Structure 1
Amino acid sequence: MRNLKVVEEFSEKSKKGFSELLYTQPNFLIGNNQLPQIHFYLLDTTANIGLGHIGFSLEEGTVFSPYRAPFGGFALADDLTSLEITFFIFEVLRKLQVQGVNSIQMKLAPNCYFSNTFLLKENLVYAGFDLEEQLEYQAISITDQAFELNLASMEVRKLKKCKEAGFEFSRLPKHKLADVFDFVKKQRQEKGYELSMEWPQMKLAQKVNSEAYIPFVVKDGKRIIAATIGILASDCVLYNFSPAHHAEYDPLSPNVLLTEGLYDFCRAEGLNYLDLGTSYLNGEVNEGLWQFKSHLGGQSFLSYSFRKAVS
């Protein structure tokens, strides 16, 4: 095992050898909640390289990772061994106990975010964490292949019709985020769905993480007909947050063209996955939505939620 140490602050002089999660970073937590933060970083002291991180929000003796976000938990370098992951987990537990923490609630990122999530899961169980829930996400792997090669034939036809109709995908400047948010909220409300965030929350999140929230649209001429907010949820993954389209365009399904644009953006930025999120409605899988994401090339990945009493 390398010469490892768990520290509570990451020095600017240290290199970062892992992909950071947006939802556990200090700036994000400032906008997310007003609770005290606790951070732990795994450091290779010989090479002066950070190999992992976990950020918590503390409330009444319980630490949450995340407190109010899709997921959090451990962010780990790909080359960490089982022994090194175990060391990190137990050092975090020891330090939390010293700080008087009573319990831990944690939801890991889907396993497309890190290559060693299954190994982490095994080590958390070994450390006494209780696995409470697993949720299925879908994500598209970003490769050198054209987007349409991953599509079901039905979606290929829809994509072709959108292009024949002259619809165009584009990334909008940051100051247009409010316009896209309003469009998405309106279209989803008309279909009976609510957004998980209100505009004041989104505005604050963008303020403290200005590069992480990106508005994307599909237009018919000058009219927005489909839109989404792309969230850089990690250094390697773009999260497709609440895409929506105008009901008038249902037969053409402009969300397919929207997804192609996101895929091409990810490829240009060197990202590994386009996260399509979950497909649950009232705790059950929405089969129609799951099938649509599958037709777009979405593969299934799991996210695990854990709880542990700190004694």
Structure 2
Amino acid sequence: MMQESYSFQVLQYPFAHSYKNSALYNTEKFLGNYPTDAFYRLVMIKNNTTYAQVNLHIRQNEALNAVFSGFGGIEHELSDEMLQWFIQKLLDWCSEQQVLLLKLKLPAPFYVSNAIQTERILTDNRFEVLSDELNQHIVVSSEAYQAIIRKNERKRLRKCREAGFKFKQLSPGQLQEAYELIKDNRLRRGFPVTMTFEALDKMYHNLPENYLLFGVYDKDRLIATAVSIRVSNEVLYNFYHGDAADYRSYSPVVMLLDGVYAYCQEKKIKYLDLGISSVNGEVNEGLLRFKRNCGCRTTSKKVMIRHLQE
């Protein structure tokens, strides 16, 4: 059997093995910033190389993936047969731990090349879709940003330029100012601020190469800002953005995206992820439309679950 050359191992934090092409959210340098009690990594190894991994927190009778991030999923480079074997081993281990519910947060498809394969094999193993949100991203190409956005957004970008606004990459020392702008913006629009300043500042301190800060200025005043995360070599995620209430007529977020897009071009980043535009399946039509006008394509972002010991 081909499986005989592979070994299935269950590791506890700190982990002895890691998948070589992990997204930031699945790495120890990210995960170590959060509680690691009852935290496991299940891996498939051959010749000391990790070919598959999934991270799980055990909470009562549930095995939860990506408790502290937008996604985790199963990272792998496996054939259908070997992925089936790995998932069966995963299910067997969960049963041994008396887990009643296994929950996996999958990445949007542009993050990994085998997203369709993974979802298909999970479905074959009686995983069900718990949630399916609309996720939007910009494909970064050699084209200028203004060439991929709608006419009205081009007008807004031109208006910002004519007003003399300037895009800048900011230092972590400017995070407090940026955070207050984001906080005011989100509260005004009725959205929660999911991280405290202290928690976000900790991530900038511990992961300076991954947590980036951008802004648009009118002279000395910050009027739009974005907290961005380098999730992988190919993806920059726009975690938070916001603009000043009295500058809404300019829509400086369009200039902000123009600058971040140019940063992605410079760093050879393929995708700029602007995140979900629905919550619990309820679409925010205004947000969806704005992102489309700003050059976004739409995909799905799923959470899949499997009930055990039925």
The TM-score, its normalising length taken from structure 1, stands at 0.88
Superposed displacement of residue 8, structure 1: 4.1
What's the counterpart of residue 30 of structure 2? 28
| C-alpha spacing 1:40/1:265, structure 2 compared with 1 (3 Å) | farther
What's the counterpart of residue 218 of structure 2? 220
Runs of 5+ consecutive residues of structure 2 not aligned to the other structure: none
What is the number of equivalent residue pairs in this alignment? 304
Question: Contact (CA 8 Å) 1:231, 1:241: kept in 2 or not?
Answer: yes
Superposed displacement of residue 236, structure 1: 2.0
What's the counterpart of residue 249 of structure 1? 247
What's the counterpart of residue 262 of structure 1? 260
| C-alpha spacing 1:8/1:232, structure 2 compared with 1 (3 Å) | farther
Alignment of 1:56-95 (within 5 A): 56-77=56-77, 80-95=78-93
What's the counterpart of residue 109 of structure 2? 111
Over the matched positions of the two proteins, sequence identity in percent amounts to 28
Superposed displacement of residue 161, structure 1: 1.6
Question: Contact (CA 8 Å) 1:25, 1:55: kept in 2 or not?
Answer: no
What's the counterpart of residue 305 of structure 1? 303
Corresponding residue to 1:273 among 271, 284, 291: 271
| C-alpha spacing 1:173/1:134, structure 2 compared with 1 (3 Å) | same
Q: Which is worse superposed, 158-167 or 2-11? A: 2-11
Question: Contact (CA 8 Å) 2:44, 2:86: kept in 1 or not?
Answer: yes
Question: Contact (CA 8 Å) 1:177, 1:214: kept in 2 or not?
Answer: no
| C-alpha spacing 1:43/1:148, structure 2 compared with 1 (3 Å) | farther
Question: Partners in 2 of 1:41 and 1:271 — Cα distance?
Answer: 28
SS at match of 2:288: helix
What's the counterpart of residue 181 of structure 1? 179
CA RMSD of aligned residues (A): 2.4
List, as ranges, runs of 4+ consecutive aligned residues in structure 1 with deviation greater than 6 Å. none
Provide, for residues 263-286 of structure 1, a one-character-per-residue CA deviation record: whole Å limited to 9, x for no partner.
122222222211111123675211
The TM-score, its normalising length taken from structure 2, stands at 0.88
What's the counterpart of residue 52 of structure 1? 52
Superposed displacement of residue 34, structure 1: 5.0
Question: Partners in 2 of 1:281 and 1:117 — Cα distance?
Answer: 21
What's the counterpart of residue 211 of structure 1? 209
What's the counterpart of residue 192 of structure 1? 190
What's the counterpart of residue 290 of structure 2? 292
Amino acid at match of 2:26: T
Superposed displacement of residue 199, structure 1: 1.7
Superposed displacement of residue 98, structure 1: 3.7
Provide, for residues 192-217 of structure 1, a one-character-per-residue CA deviation record: whole Å limited to 9, x for no partner.
33212222322333344333221111
Provide, for residues 24-59 of structure 1, a one-character-per-residue CA deviation record: whole Å limited to 9, x for no partner.
3333333334542111233343xx543333211221
What's the counterpart of residue 149 of structure 1? 147
Amino acid at match of 1:103: L
Corresponding residue to 1:97 among 92, 95, 98: 95
